Structure 1
Amino acid sequence: MVVISGSPWAKRLVFLVLSINILLWWYVYSIPGVTDDVQPATTKLKTNDAKAIPIDKKVEAKDGKSAKGVKAAKDDKTGESVDKKGIKTFRSWSNFDIVKPKNDHTYVYRRFKSSPHKPPHIEWNPNGKPLAKGYVFITPQSSGAERGLVQAASFIMKQNAEMIYAHDEGPYDSAGLRVQTVHNEQFLTLWRGHRKMSHGFGEVIVMNSEYEKTVVHLDAIITNMYGQKFLSGLDFHEQELTTRGTILVTAYNTTMYNLTQMGGSEHGFVTDSLFFEIDIETQEILFSWSALDHFWPEDSMLPLISSSGYGGPKNPYDFFHLSSIQAVNHDSFLISSRNFWSVYLISRSNGRILWELRGNTKGGDFGALPHHGRFRWQNHVRAHNVTSREMILSMFDNHNSPEDMGKTYSRGLLLKLKLPPNPDEKPEVLRILSPDRAKISPEYGSYQLGLSNGNQFVSWGAGGVVHEYGPDDGHDLRWQARFGYDESITSYRAFKDVWTGTPSKWTPALVVEKREDTVQGFVSWNGATDIDAYNIYLAEPGTELKPLGKAKVLGFETGFDLGVKNNETNCIMVTAVRKGQEIRQSNVGCIEGTTFVSTIVDSMGKATGDSVVEKTTLQKIMGFLSVSSSYIGINFTMKFTHPALLLALCQLASASPCKPSLSVTSNAPTSTENESASPATETSTALSVETGSSTISHDATLTASETASTSDLSILTTSVSTSSAEPTTTLEATTDLSTTVDETTTTFESETSATLISTTTAEASTTTAAAPEIPSNRVLNPGFEDALVYPWESMAGSLSRTSSEVFSGSKSGFFSGNTPMSAMQGVRQFIEPTWITPGKSYKFSAWVKVTSTVNCGVRTIVCGHGLGQGTTSSAGTIEEPGDFALASVTCSWTQAQWEARPSVQIRSYCTGFSFFVDQATLEEVESLG
């Protein structure tokens, strides 16, 4: 046993030195290396359409890594070059580092030295005909457990497969990345959130050309079928900007519905397709629409039991499936129902159906379509050249679904409609886009008209294949690309468009490496377009910048060779050049004698925390603290016994909770931002996620790091400026980000000159949180004044908000039910169980105006429980049809009824029943006096 004598502070100092020693041992022998699970990529991705276009470029990985000698794209000045000062520029080897994982557990991807992003490797084939200007926008998604994504991100790519921008949302899925232009200003839009089967629950991001974000939430409660709390209720199918400063978005709400006519349960569930028009600035809902208010689920073309669900509470029947929305003029919306095989024009004033275009033989209000113009299971419907007399309609006609496969190939379809609808004037087929080797896509897909030169662009949805066609001929296929494997990758939509981006909050990312007799740099700037070159400077601390030369931009990541020995250069920095002007400087990378220290920087120009430091340097540090000859024998033991040893040392020293400290000083960019998941400034609402006993509160774009560790981490970033010093500007964080794990609080502060990430720990304390306040009225949305009827729901009928008949306020609820056989009809609302005490008495009241009854039994107001028709023993009677009358009942729930989930109901057993309801209350009887 080792006995240490002396004062307590001396003991603590000794143990602190030992603790640091152990930490340094751990750090040295846990520095991650290259761990990609690779094998020689000798098997090429299959290209089903290889015969459609002569292959001009083939990329094939060799030895599982680099694909050397690839033919360069015509729009890039590729190949090595040397400037006047001897700087040799080359395309970064890692730009063609194509990784094919063993066992194909992900798709083939690319990786870089200066960026953490791993875009899919894209095989592309042009045929030499003119292509439209612009970039390709894709959002790959996995459709299977194997051979899928390596990184869930959206990408902007050049048509020669070079990456321009990667938008990584961390733990969230993304969809629909594209450019939209409003009043001559360009924006990027995309959805992020969680996908469940064919639905999504999340929010929409709108970004300007500097990648500054505005987040659009759905300020309404959506009942989803999975019992989980998501970011927001917005679905991924549509994010359409309007000229009114609004955005059109979709959502899906789970609603109880009588499915007996279809062979289902009387207490079945359907997915109600909703869409909203939301003011982007105020987040106010300006318009809402529900498919269940206008259509009978029985009229759907989708079988009750399908891959989309079977009518249960967790797998509701998706009878309508709203797949696209577009504002037409200023008074209507064009929507597409995939599962009705129909396109509808909706009135903006009252939500009524103005006309229907039916994809089957009936044709709807336009009469029968010609045989080759019929469509089914369609996606991405858009109107073009709309006048009072006609419109052009484009769509991606899947013509297939998981339950309806193989009868006809999928295609892009262009129709001309005469207006107003007339059954005697049938729709005209203008164009059909289909490759020589036809494709079957059971889901997703898009068809884009009007590229910069008039060309057309098609994404085939299921399977990572996109095509560019000439402007006129549906068979004029000019360019094709494939990413991933057919059976495991999808892209909901894909687009091609012109885009100019200059990130405002992150800088070019520079990594410096030593070679035997030279220094090489690798630089990229995620999202920056039209960068011509990088000026290279010697950037010694405390001295003026010294120009070393220029490197021309060659692809996403550009490499350059300084042509000097590594001991002749210490620190370098680059500046991005556009049209002869330096617009942004990078971080600083340094070579120190025979070892280099270079901060690995992510897409925002921030240090990732993985500073590359040669082990020889750290070994020298540790030699000062311990006998270097002993480490060979004990390093393995130290690595795995470090936590226990550290705890024991802390206890021996009687230290208050032990928080070992590790500080890393790195040369970082001048402008950073506290987001780890996605590179952009964001205006958003805070999200709280409860995990066990810990609470993580952060903005939706941020990925909470592994904060279970109790280490104090401080990263200090410095910069080298090309001009005189300017006042420091502090960026105010738009969203609180705090992480609490076992009483450890992490805070993030952002400044233009430095980014400080620190963890502070207070002494353990015991606090008692106040119990949540229970409202006196347990009924939510009692007068239907909210934007939705939720949390009210209908039973065997439809429920909507109305202003035609109200008891008080501006809105009331209106229920209307009509069934061929008598069924329980009415409305109900489930009550938060924590607001109810079993055995206590409550009074449920509502103002009800009955308008019609058909074969009804007793009309009652009751307290219920569970998903069935169970009620407590009491019931109140509702007046005969007439004016508003107050109906009430006093009831209580037993423990078993409370556990089944309490509810309040207004109902009757009828074949027809309709009524208005307003100002409902559920209050504890004791509180009423």
Structure 2
Amino acid sequence: MPLPSFALSVLICSLQAFPVSAQNYTWPWQTYKSSSAEPPSLNITKSGPTSPGYLFFDQNGQYAHNYSLFIMSDDNELIWQSGYGDYGAFRTQKFEGKPVLTFFNGVSLSEPYGWGYGIIQILDDSYKSIYNVSLTVDEGNFLTLPELDASQIESYLDMHESQITAQDTILVTLYNVTKYDLSSVGGPQDGWVADSLFYELDIKTNEILFKWSVLDHVDQIPISDVQQFYPIADFGKNQSVPYGYFHINSVDKFDDGSYLISSRYYCSIFKISKNGTVEWTLQGQTGGDFELDGQLSFCYQHDARVRRELGSTVKISLFNNANSEIMSGVNQTKGVFLTLDTETMKATLDHAYTDPQDAVYAFSQGNTQLLDDGHVIMGYGSTPKIREFSADGTTLMTAQFGPGDGLIFSYRAYRQPWVGRPKEPPSVVACRDEASNSTRVYMSWLGATEHKYWDIFAGDSDNSFTLASQVGRTGFETVATIQGQVPMIRVEARGIGITGGVSNVISSQSHC
């Protein structure tokens, strides 16, 4: 199955926002004259000052208008949009000391499977693809669902993880549909499971530096320990319906080189040592190897992250869905920060982030991000909202980009700083108005963040241009009117350090 292409086309559209339809669940989106971009119109509410940075998210789901990646501002202004594709886990990271954009690009499978096959794509600050992290495997030992043509799968990487480490390696997840004896849990002896794996890879060469499989450690993680998964009677009978009991959904790394992984259906996070053994288990309802403090509880969680290590204590954050396709609408989804003491083996809740005025019950996906100023961002996964909290838990902002749970979603969402320096020139459209003897100019520069104003040049030929106007940048698309019916137009984006901000010369249109 070929991977989706990564490209942008240019169309001339009118600026508008389309209303929500109760019949087809369409969410409002924005269009422009100078760009083909069509970002969602964010429904943003604020009750306090938010942190600097842009919002990073993908828009996906059955009723999504645009299956794309988005960088947007708190003012509902577009910064950058990708082309059409099945994407996920979009954010900025650092590689070799430089900021990059990373995301999954491939094919994702809906529940009850809930994994994907593709690459992790890495772009530089000009939005040029610089690395495609991929992994091919021996098809005799690594299987997909039979409905997929394995010969056309270019890479087996899953969308759940794409974490660049301090060592400039990358942590990724994979799923292997394979045979396994399920008789111990009431399934068939010749059963099938979806094995959860994670790898650490060299970004430049795709060399495997570490590999781990949950099926290799059933002595420490018994299949019978799964919590409230789909009934075994419905799964595991054949390759088309494997028993996906573990469902790995995040990987992080400790200072000592060991790993922190999260299992959705075990309601557990695990520390995996460098030799692959399970060093400890924190189970969100029973405690596992730890004693819970009475306040800490989680299940079906995502995005478990190591926040700080100090001696025998480690601080961890996670996105506690507390809901799933099996059990939904019961417990409110929270952003959880906790402390583990590996000497006393006690687990303590530090803070749980929720909005008492707007309870969310996200049954899948999601993440919790800790910002440098102590604010917390939550991307609510299957619920199309991004929320920012102050350190004390006060809700500061909610940005909604779709209706209803599961109709439109984003696997993860972040607030992050970003400086975009696109190599492509700005776009411009000009429209002559005979009645007012004027020309209206529409200007945008997809992905650029540093320009502050525009110079508009008018001319009769390609070689005869004069500065007709200088206007401040107003959002993604700036609109200005100059006197006279100008035949030719070009614009220049201006600001400190701006290079390459000169548009092509275009002929103005009689009407737009």
Contact 2:450 2:498 in 1 (8 A): no
Q: Is 1:219–2:144 an aligned residue pair?
A: no
Partner of 2:370: 449
- Three-state SS of the structure 2 residue aligned to 1:584 is coil
Partner of 2:185: 262
2:455 counterpart (530, 535, 551):
535
1:389 Cα deviation (Å)? 2.2
Separation in 2, partners of 1:267, 1:576? 65
Q: Is 1:110–2:27 an aligned residue pair?
A: no
Q: Is 1:353–2:278 an aligned residue pair?
A: yes
Contact 2:197 2:211 in 1 (8 A): yes
Q: Is 1:573–2:490 an aligned residue pair?
A: yes
Separation in 1, partners of 2:87, 2:419? 21
Contact 1:271 1:317 in 2 (8 A): yes
Across the two proteins, how many residue pairs are aligned to each other? 484
Separation in 2, partners of 1:590, 1:483? 36
Contact 1:262 1:304 in 2 (8 A): no
**CA 1:391–1:250 in 2, change beyond 3 Å: closer, same or farther?**
same
Separation in 2, partners of 1:525, 1:352? 51
1:355 Cα deviation (Å)? 1.5
**CA 1:479–1:166 in 2, change beyond 3 Å: closer, same or farther?**
same
Separation in 1, partners of 2:488, 2:233? 58
2:360 counterpart (430, 435, 439):
439
Separation in 2, partners of 1:579, 1:310? 60
Partner of 2:125: 209
1:396 Cα deviation (Å)? 0.5
Q: Is 1:282–2:205 an aligned residue pair?
A: yes
After TM superposition, list the pairs within 5 Å mapping 1:431-830 onto structure 2: 431-436=351-356, 437-451=358-372, 453-471=373-391, 473-474=392-393, 476-487=394-405, 488-504=407-423, 506-516=424-434, 517-541=437-461, 543-564=463-484, 566=485, 569-579=486-496, 583-591=500-508, 595=510
1:312 Cα deviation (Å)? 3.0
Which one has a bigger Cα radius of gyration?
Answer: 1
Partner of 1:191: 104
Separation in 2, partners of 1:33, 1:498? 30
Partner of 2:67: 152
Separation in 2, partners of 1:580, 1:346? 46
Which structure carries more helix by proportion?
Answer: 1
1:364 Cα deviation (Å)? 2.0
1:211 Cα deviation (Å)? 1.5
**CA 1:308–1:320 in 2, change beyond 3 Å: closer, same or farther?**
farther
Separation in 2, partners of 1:308, 1:114? 52
After TM superposition, list the pairs within 5 Å mapping 1:860-875 onto structure 2: none
**CA 1:252–1:584 in 2, change beyond 3 Å: closer, same or farther?**
same
Any gaps of 5 or more consecutive residues in structure 1?
A: 1-31, 35-92, 597-611, 613-929
Separation in 2, partners of 1:412, 1:307? 33
Q: Which amino acid aligns with 1:136?
A: L
1:307 Cα deviation (Å)? 12
1:375 Cα deviation (Å)? 1.0
Separation in 2, partners of 1:526, 1:33? 14
Separation in 1, partners of 2:499, 2:456? 11
Question: Which has the bigger relative contact order, CA under 8 A and spacing at least 6?
Answer: 2
Separation in 1, partners of 2:234, 2:272? 26
- Three-state SS of the structure 1 residue aligned to 2:265 is helix
Contact 1:388 1:419 in 2 (8 A): no
- Three-state SS of the structure 1 residue aligned to 2:172 is strand
Any gaps of 5 or more consecutive residues in structure 2?
A: 1-10
Contact 1:306 1:403 in 2 (8 A): no
1:553 Cα deviation (Å)? 0.7
Deviation readout 1:607-642 (Å, 9 max, x if unpaired): xxxxx9xxxxxxxxxxxxxxxxxxxxxxxxxxxxxx
1:272 Cα deviation (Å)? 0.4
Q: Is 1:329–2:249 an aligned residue pair?
A: no
**CA 1:519–1:347 in 2, change beyond 3 Å: closer, same or farther?**
same
Q: Which amino acid aligns with 1:235?
A: D
Contact 1:99 1:108 in 2 (8 A): yes
Contact 2:295 2:348 in 1 (8 A): no
Contact 2:12 2:34 in 1 (8 A): no
1:130 Cα deviation (Å)? 2.1
Contact 1:235 1:250 in 2 (8 A): yes
1:508 Cα deviation (Å)? 0.7
Contact 1:304 1:311 in 2 (8 A): no
After TM superposition, list the pairs within 5 Å mapping 1:30-429 onto structure 2: 94=15, 97-100=16-19, 103-104=23-24, 106-127=26-47, 129-142=48-61, 144=62, 148-168=63-83, 170=84, 172-182=85-95, 184-197=97-110, 198-213=114-129, 214-221=131-138, 222-225=142-145, 226-228=147-149, 229-295=152-218, 296-305=222-231, 311-348=237-274, 350-361=275-286, 363-366=287-290, 368-420=291-343, 422-423=344-345, 426-429=346-349
**CA 1:303–1:33 in 2, change beyond 3 Å: closer, same or farther?**
closer
Q: Which amino acid aligns with 1:178?
A: R
Separation in 2, partners of 1:442, 1:312? 26
Q: Which amino acid aligns with 1:508?
A: P
Contact 2:169 2:202 in 1 (8 A): yes
1:571 Cα deviation (Å)? 0.9
Contact 2:187 2:232 in 1 (8 A): no
1:455 Cα deviation (Å)? 1.0
1:559 Cα deviation (Å)? 0.8
- Three-state SS of the structure 1 residue aligned to 2:505 is strand
Separation in 1, partners of 2:480, 2:466? 17
1:417 Cα deviation (Å)? 1.1
- Three-state SS of the structure 1 residue aligned to 2:295 is helix
1:155 Cα deviation (Å)? 0.3
**CA 1:511–1:365 in 2, change beyond 3 Å: closer, same or farther?**
same
Q: Which amino acid aligns with 1:162?
A: E
Separation in 2, partners of 1:299, 1:432? 26
- Normalising to structure 1: TM-score of the pair? 0.50
1:182 Cα deviation (Å)? 4.3
After TM superposition, list the pairs within 5 Å mapping 1:877-896 onto structure 2: none
**CA 1:306–1:265 in 2, change beyond 3 Å: closer, same or farther?**
closer
- Normalising to structure 2: TM-score of the pair? 0.89
Structural RMSD (CA): 2.2
Partner of 1:8: none
Separation in 2, partners of 1:537, 1:265? 74
Contact 1:264 1:304 in 2 (8 A): no
1:466 Cα deviation (Å)? 1.3
Contact 2:314 2:341 in 1 (8 A): yes
Contact 1:179 1:187 in 2 (8 A): yes
